[in-house]
Chains A and B, each alone.
Chain A
């Protein structure tokens, strides 16, 4: 039988490896790091030892050279225990490493990717700004052409891996900006390193609802000089990089939703057997059955959608926007609702950290905002669907 979720033996081996690692090493630290709002950098490095940080990066640059399905498996498995750590993983592996591996020059790849794949460097991607999120082309960060490079000015907001702790910047970032004089839709991408003069940590953003095991920051560029060799691709051509990479970002964010939903289904399912009320196990009550069965069906529907899209998503071309928006729109909401049902099935126990569904519910909420809000997906999809008459 063809297994949609593990299309090859290597995908299955990846899932087995990731799951046993997650159960033994990731699960025991998840709640504690959420509580402390701390990024677990040593554990993140171990993802490098396992070849997960460069899952889609070519072997030439220290990666594992796998496809979108493999990326989905890694995110699904990590997220089943620790979505916060997984978000840091996503920002690094998908938004930084995969992006640079597709769009960078060989010199840029050689300089950053081996460190990114091993975990020696922690990377991120900067698109959003304090005053422009969904309206990404409304960004104001600007690059002025000077002798030998660019001078960057502006601020980026909500940057995952922007801060590794309260005071430490992440190591390297892909920053979208507009070169002065260029058209509104002609963005450019520059590599900015920790230590560049004029680049600083504006603030580490604390007290998030969820995803607290990932560091989120505002990053500030004040007359920050970036040498010309750190321009990624052509000047003004980065809007396409952004669109292409957003497809993989959204697919893997949807995969994170799957991990959350699977875990919540498992937890409510076993709780309903173990817990009795009025002399019967909870699972004998129709209202509880509705929570469990509806959750399972919604999870499997989302999972089938995600793996179906993943199987046809090629990393190096755009063109899956309706469905890369679609999987995230469907799965983010699904995961939140499944987590919500899990809390309900567990009653008071669901409302506290020990049973994990409380944390997973908080983490799930981000997936309706980050990487595109639900409304942004609806807007994009409806615009693209306007060109379609019949669905094949």
Chain B
């Protein structure tokens, strides 16, 4: 069984991100980076599936500048078999560009399964998995919270509003992971050392035959959420109701 899995480098969700003064970009000073937590879940799942199959390989892919090697190495330390870094200018990456490169990779590598996070916690776009599936004409299951492989296909349970949807798909397929699918392992120190020796191939978008033009999505500006107003303490239910009616216009 062969699985391609993504490992996107994103800003640590514990870091405070602030837009630059002109609002055109994010100021990354003093910001930590980590693997997207949904990707981490995808990596964990891929490793478990290949382990359970008893044969095959997990190929981990990251895109971006050289720093993203760290996320590939982390996935290798968790147990992925080899890595690919598509080195490119991150400002040219949007969901469309990432999807087109993944499509080429899948055409070259011919995996049974492409596993991705349902979204990246920085851009929150939730598009790449769906786009790749559409381009390749592969079946897709998004927001997987349970996954089991039977023969040349998988059964996926998805959390949807108010319940669970169960879908069956045949390989090759695209699956995106939700939070509750598994708890990713910590890479152990010996495995961190072993990961150093695992193969990691660096390529360019051109190597994949993809031309990165201007992104299809242009970010007009970044802004902070408006700060919440301070609360008020009211002395009676009557005041509360009157404030809800007259000030908040909630009733």
Q: Which residues of A contact B (CB under 8 A)?
A: 9-10, 12-14, 16-17, 20-21, 49-52, 55, 59, 64-66, 70
Judge whether B186 and A10 touch: CB under 8 Å: no
Would A9 and B69 be within 8 Å (CB), given that A14-B192, A65-B193 are in contact? yes
A62's closest neighbor in chain B, by CB?
B190
Q: Give the interface SS of chain B, mostly helix, strand, loop or mixed.
A: helix
A64 engages B70 (CB within 8 Å): no
Indicate if B118 sits at the interface (CB-CB under 8 A).
no
Contact A13 B192 (CB under 8 A): yes
* Given known contacts A9-B69, A10-B196, A52 and B189 CB-to-CB distance under 8 angstroms: yes
CB distance from B246 to the nearest CB of A (A): 29
User: Chain B residues near A13 (CB, 8 Å)?
Assistant: 70, 73-74, 77, 187, 192, 195
Residues from chain A with a CB closer than 8 A to the CB of B187 are: 13, 17
- A52–B190 alpha-carbon span in the complex (Å): 9
* Residue numbers in A under 8 Å from B188 (CB-CB): 17, 49-51
Q: Report the minimal beta-carbon distance from A131 to chain B, rounded to whole angstroms.
A: 40
User: In the complex, are the beta carbons of A17 and B192 less than 8 A apart?
Assistant: yes
Are the CB atoms of A55 and B189 closer together than 8 Å?
Answer: yes
Q: A10-B196, A13-B74, A16-B74 are in contact. Are A66 and B69 (CB under 8 A)?
A: no
Chain B contacts of A10 at CB under 8 A? 192-193, 196
B69 touches A64 (CB 8 A): no
Interface of chain B residues 176 through 202 with chain A (CB within 8 A): 186-193, 195-196
**Cα distance, A52 to B193, chains bound together (Å):** 13
Cβ-defined partner of B189 (8 Å) among A9, A12, A14, A20: A14
A64 touching B190, Cβ below 8 Å: yes
Contacts of A50 in B (CB 8 A): 186, 188-189
CB distance from A382 to the nearest CB of B (A): 38
Interface residues of B in 184-226 (CB under 8 A from A): 186-193, 195-196
For A59, the chain B residues whose CB sits under 8 A away are: 190
Residue contact B70 to A12, C-beta cutoff 8 Å: yes
Give the A-B contact count at a CB cut-off of 8 A.
46
By a CB distance below 8 angstroms, the chain A residues around B74 are 13, 16
CA distance A14 to B196 in the complex (A): 13
Q: Are B73 and A66 in contact (CB under 8 A)?
A: no
A21 to B183, CA, bound (A): 12
With the chains together, A50 CA to B187 CA distance in Å? 7
Please, which residue of chain A has its CB at the minimum distance from the CB of B191?
A51
A280 to B74, CA, bound (A): 43
CA distance A52 to B196 in the complex (A): 18
Q: Give the nearest-CB partner of A59 in chain B.
A: B190
Chain A residues whose CB sits within 8 angstroms of the CB of B69 once the complex forms = 9
Measured CB to CB, the closest approach of chain A to B129, in angstroms, equals 25
Given known A9-B69, A13-B70, A13-B74, contact A64–B186 (CB-CB < 8 A): no
Q: Distance in Å from the Cβ of A128 to the closest Cβ of chain B?
A: 30
7 closest cross-chain pairs (CB), A and B: A51-B189, A64-B189, A51-B188, A51-B190, A13-B192, A50-B188, A21-B186
- Bound form: Cα–Cα A16–B193 in Å: 14
Task: From B69, B186, B191, B196, name the one whose CB has the most chain A CB atoms within 10 angstroms.
Answer: B186
Q: Which residues of A contact B196 (CB under 8 A)?
A: 9-10
Q: How far is the CA of A16 from the CA of B195 in the complex (A)?
A: 15
Could you list 8 A-B pairs, sorted by A, with CB under 8 Å?
A9-B70, A9-B73, A13-B70, A16-B74, A49-B188, A51-B189, A51-B191, A70-B189
| Chain A residues whose C-beta falls within 8 Å of the C-beta of B190 in the assembled complex | 51, 59, 64
Closest to B14 in A: A23
Complex: A49 Cα to B195 Cα, angstroms: 17
A378 to B34, CA, bound (A): 42
Per the 8 Å Cβ criterion, residues 59-75 of B in contact with A are: 69-70, 73-74
Indicate whether A66 sits within 8 Å of B189 (C-beta atoms), given known contacts A10-B196, A13-B77: yes
**Chain B residues within 8 Å of A64, by CB:** 189-190, 193
Q: Which residue of A lies closest to B188 (CB)?
A: A51
Interface string of B17-45 (1 = CB under 8 A from A): 00000000000000000100000000000
Shortest B180–chain A CB gap in Å is 16
Question: Whole-angstrom distance between the alpha carbons of A356 and B233 in the complex?
Answer: 31
A17/B186 contact (C-beta < 8 A), A10-B192, A10-B196 known: yes
A20 touches B186 (CB 8 A): yes
Known A10-B192, A50-B189, A66-B193; further 9 A-B contacts with Cβ < 8 A: A10-B193, A13-B70, A13-B77, A14-B189, A16-B74, A17-B77, A17-B192, A49-B188, A70-B189
- Taking the nearest CB of chain A, how far is it from the CB of B224, in angstroms? 15
Contacts of A70 in B (CB 8 A): 189
Q: How far is the CA of A51 from the CA of B73 in the complex (A)?
A: 17
Residues from chain B with a CB closer than 8 A to the CB of A65 are 193
Q: Please measure, in the bound complex, the distance between the C-alpha atom of A21 and the C-alpha atom of B184, giving whole angstroms.
A: 11
In the complex, A50→B78 CA distance in Å?
11
Most buried by B among A13, A59, A66: A13
Among residues of A, the one whose C-beta sits closest to the C-beta of B77 is: A13
Interface residues of B in 74-133 (CB under 8 A from A): 74, 77
Which single residue of chain B is at the shortest CB-CB distance from A55?
A: B189
Per the bound structure, the CA–CA distance linking A276 and B188 in Å amounts to 43
Query: Which B-chain residue is minimally distant from A12 (CB atoms)?
Result: B70
Complex Cα–Cα for A281 and B77 (A) = 44
Q: Which residues of chain B are near A12, meaning CB under 8 Å?
A: 70
Could you tell me the distance in whole angstroms from the C-beta of B191 to the nearest C-beta in chain A?
Answer: 8
Question: In the complex, which residue of chain B has the Cβ closest to the Cβ of A23?
Answer: B14
Residue among B74, B193, B195 with the highest chain A CB neighbour number at 10 A = B193
Query: Please, which residues of chain B bring their CB within 8 A of the CB of A49?
Result: 188
In the assembled complex, the Cα of A64 lies from the Cα of B74 at a distance in Å of 17
Q: How many Å lie between the Cα of A328 and that of B162 in the bound state?
A: 58
List of A residues within 8 angstroms of B186 by Cβ: 17, 20-21, 50
Contacts of B34 in A (CB 8 A): 16
Bound-state Cα–Cα, A59 to B34, Å: 28
Residue in B189, B193, B195 with the greatest tally of chain A CB atoms within 10 Å: B189
Q: Which residue of A lies closest to B76 (CB)?
A: A13
